[in-house]
Structure 1
């Protein structure tokens, strides 16, 4: 038996660009648009400083500039040219750990126009909505650009992320944040990203685009479901990000009544840290609890309907006080 490891043969299409030759060492190729750099810190890069009490500062490195805090100061030139992962001591003896910020760190500290999608939810969306390299993903709305960064990282430079945002002030904040994270030159942005100012329910049908995934981060995602259904390719996924139980119920029931999707799946994620010190192992006092609910469903082929899930609704689920969409075959429950 041969010890040689088999290799996978690529079959590029005529329209697909060839993948770049990856260097064995040095920086991440610019054409990867990863938002990540290797090697020595350089002018214009952002770094994250963490002091001994866990307080964090994000600074953009500029030759000749000085960082000030209540623990003294130090020059940016002391950082430029060094490999990340070191400590620097300020004039008053304060120690700061120096690293490039991770995407999960960047999004929780970047300037905000709207609330951001937290890393725990962005990770769930990328995984459970199956965002893949080369995918065409539609996002509405863009908020401050936090989820946009994760989607762009997932689809890669040969995919597409088409974002729709109703409010210009939010769109402008997102443009700056996305440009900063990916290091886009002034006046440009990530080549796989387009940002449209307008309502997805109107703008997406007008575009005529057929897409793989649609992410709805908005107050009333059910208003965009028809537009999403028309744009999604068979097998595509719609994913809604909603904050309240009333929004969750309205969206799930609208998906059911629509008939062109599989039975929706709804969940939330909770993250709890742990204190670990010798034999003192216990849950941490801080926890990232409820931030939002997530709902996913897959698009059926044209003219096809998923088998209706057989369910016995809980008493009162569709009672006289319920005013939302009602699945077929479920009568109004009588008043006691």
Structure 2
């Protein structure tokens, strides 16, 4: 007989919003904020005034209107703006979390999760925790039976990260501890038990021997470093313990996509192709109606503010024969 799922154990995105939940308030694609729902709480922004009490009981993903103006159709408020109430997924949490340190973004995180070969039930060791951006994605990858053990040498950062994980309902998946992994290595209790290890440290080569002893045979290590000199020293330290050493740099290029209007060529313009080619394409404002001389098209161009270098990701696999195997 199928046992009914306890509503309290549903993924956050499938629950209704309750007091104390963390909600990502989406104003537009580049303006979002994390808000903790409180019964008497109020959010004010350029779209109006939003009472938290109106959010409680709604599903994540709901569109809510401000309380300004006169009541309209379907409970909407005439003249009021609106926002969306989204669940704090790892991708959205990366965009709205408090930056206690420099963080990893989606492009790097995606490669880390894929190349660490994480599946539900895996055990992952991480150092350092920082702002918890990567930690949140690691937890989702190994859920519901897996576990992420994350370490930071800074007590206040570790405490703040622990609070964030509790607010987002990840305490059962993530254990946070204060420890200097560069100086002390990982705790002996994890020896040979980790499926993957991630290092984000100033001197990762000091922690690599300890990481090697923590990993199961064929486990994968990843080290993130902003400078190529750090990568070089790390690779040298990996050679006695690891094989298949590879380094990647992720450069993400995004594009703007806009609908535009092209004016049809007249007989005189068709006779002068050179002049026609020099005419600029005009982007059509939203809602503008095309006349008989215009046609719609989609124009694409690279964004002017694409993010450049963030760091280097070095992956290595725990060699079968330990220190007797050299990397190729």
The counterpart of 1:268, out of the listed 234, 249, 272, is 249
Alignment RMSD, CA only? 2.6
TM-score scaled by structure 2? 0.75
Cα distance between partner residues in 1 of 2:109 and 2:188: 28
Helix, strand or coil: the match of 2:103?
coil
- Mind listing any 5+ residue stretches in structure 2 that lack a counterpart? 69-78, 260-297
Cα distance between partner residues in 1 of 2:187 and 2:119: 23
User: Does the CA-based 8 Å contact 2:21-2:168 persist in structure 1?
Assistant: no
- Mind listing any 5+ residue stretches in structure 1 that lack a counterpart? 1-19, 185-189, 310-336
Structure 1 outlier segments of 4+, above 6 Å: none
- Aligned CA distance change for structure 1 residues 75 and 245 (closer, same or farther; 3 Å): same
- Aligned CA distance change for structure 1 residues 304 and 193 (closer, same or farther; 3 Å): same
User: How many angstroms does 1:119 deviate by?
Assistant: 2.2
Counterpart of 2:267 in structure 1 is: none
Q: Deviations over 1:83-121 (max 9, x none)?
A: 333141352733323323332111231123222222222
Q: Establish whether residue 112 from structure 1 lines up as the match of residue 99 from structure 2.
A: yes
- Aligned CA distance change for structure 1 residues 212 and 275 (closer, same or farther; 3 Å): same
Cα distance between partner residues in 1 of 2:322 and 2:22: 51
Q: Deviations over 1:273-292 (max 9, x none)?
A: 22122321122223232212
User: How many angstroms does 1:214 deviate by?
Assistant: 0.9
Q: Establish whether residue 218 from structure 1 lines up as the match of residue 194 from structure 2.
A: no
Q: Which has the larger radius of gyration?
A: 2
Deviating more after overlay: 57-66 vs 121-130: 57-66
User: Does the CA-based 8 Å contact 2:108-2:250 persist in structure 1?
Assistant: yes
Counterpart of 2:73 in structure 1 is: none
Helix, strand or coil: the match of 1:133?
coil
Q: Establish whether residue 37 from structure 1 lines up as the match of residue 13 from structure 2.
A: yes
The counterpart of 1:171, out of the listed 158, 162, 165, is 158
User: Does the CA-based 8 Å contact 2:19-2:37 persist in structure 1?
Assistant: yes
- Aligned CA distance change for structure 1 residues 155 and 22 (closer, same or farther; 3 Å): farther
TM-score scaled by structure 1? 0.74
Map 1:284-299 → 2, pairs under 5 A: 284-299=303-318
User: How many angstroms does 1:53 deviate by?
Assistant: 8.2
User: How many angstroms does 1:230 deviate by?
Assistant: 1.7
User: How many angstroms does 1:158 deviate by?
Assistant: 1.8
User: Does the CA-based 8 Å contact 1:164-1:197 persist in structure 2?
Assistant: yes
Q: Establish whether residue 161 from structure 1 lines up as the match of residue 148 from structure 2.
A: yes
How many residue pairs get aligned? The number is 276
User: Does the CA-based 8 Å contact 1:111-1:177 persist in structure 2?
Assistant: no
- Aligned CA distance change for structure 1 residues 154 and 285 (closer, same or farther; 3 Å): same
User: How many angstroms does 1:168 deviate by?
Assistant: 0.5
The counterpart of 2:212, out of the listed 219, 223, 229, is 229
User: Does the CA-based 8 Å contact 2:39-2:52 persist in structure 1?
Assistant: yes
Cα distance between partner residues in 1 of 2:185 and 2:172: 21
- Aligned CA distance change for structure 1 residues 53 and 274 (closer, same or farther; 3 Å): closer
User: How many angstroms does 1:294 deviate by?
Assistant: 0.4
Higher helix share: 2
Helix, strand or coil: the match of 1:288?
coil
User: Does the CA-based 8 Å contact 1:88-1:98 persist in structure 2?
Assistant: no
The counterpart of 2:42, out of the listed 42, 55, 66, is 66
The counterpart of 1:49, out of the listed 9, 25, 49, is 25
User: Does the CA-based 8 Å contact 1:139-1:216 persist in structure 2?
Assistant: yes
User: Does the CA-based 8 Å contact 1:117-1:146 persist in structure 2?
Assistant: yes
Cα distance between partner residues in 2 of 1:194 and 1:42: 25
Counterpart of 2:58 in structure 1 is: 82
Counterpart of 2:133 in structure 1 is: 146
Q: Establish whether residue 131 from structure 1 lines up as the match of residue 118 from structure 2.
A: yes
User: Does the CA-based 8 Å contact 1:74-1:89 persist in structure 2?
Assistant: yes
User: Does the CA-based 8 Å contact 1:144-1:177 persist in structure 2?
Assistant: no
Counterpart of 2:300 in structure 1 is: 281
